[in-house]
Amino acid sequence: MIASIILASMGSDKDGSPRVRQNISTKDQNTGIMITNVWVGLRALEGWWSWNHWSIILSLSNGQYACIQKNTDDTVACKIENSMEAACKQTWGKVGKKVRTSDYGSPCCPRSWDSYFKDLPGNDDYTFIVNDCQNFARQQVEDLTDKVVGVFPIEDGPTFTF
């Protein structure tokens, strides 16, 4: 089972995983855009019964949303969208047709998008279970909100189906 999950994950570039590191629009850069809310996004890798790929979704004060996720190729991807639904749909999953979200609220300390984006790792070794998308998302949520994400996120946010 674990081997099939790992092999399924390795084809992420064919299944819509954003490999880009995209910043907010040029006109909004250096204008004090702040992170206003933090969610965890979950999308099934194989079906409703399987493991999930995790992302974090950030709401920005300019009305945009960022989907940030760790890929199996050691990159951290960041894709900016104009709606929460569009950002959530960037969460990679082989066959999962919905993204479930967990709302962890606003950052505990004001944090600008610019400082957060600059601190994102460009390349970060991917190690299944130890340094994977789940642990990356947990660490980002804890750093931003001082809240701990458990083994099973609370899933109290919206669900997007496509």
**What is the rounded distance in angstroms from the CA atom of residue 98 to the CA atom of residue 89?**
8
Write out the residue range of the structural domain in which residue 103 sits.
2-161
Do 99 and 88 form a contact (C-beta atoms < 8 A)? yes
pLDDT, tens digit (0-9, with 9 covering 90-100), for 8-44: 333 344 444 455 667 666 666 667 899 999 999 999 8
**Domain count within the chain:** 1
pLDDT at 26: 62
**What is the rounded distance in angstroms from the CA atom of residue 88 to the CA atom of residue 98?**
9
Among candidate residues 103, 6, 97, the one with its CA nearest the CA of residue 51? 6
Output the DSSP codes for 57-83. EEEETTS-EEEEEE-TTSBEEEEEESS
Query: Regarding beta strands 98-105 and 76-81, do their DSSP bridges make them parallel or antiparallel, or are they unpaired?
Result: unpaired
pLDDT, tens digit (0-9, with 9 covering 90-100), for 120-132: 876 666 655 556 8
**Percentage above 70 pLDDT, the chain:** 73
At 116 the three-state DSSP class reads helix
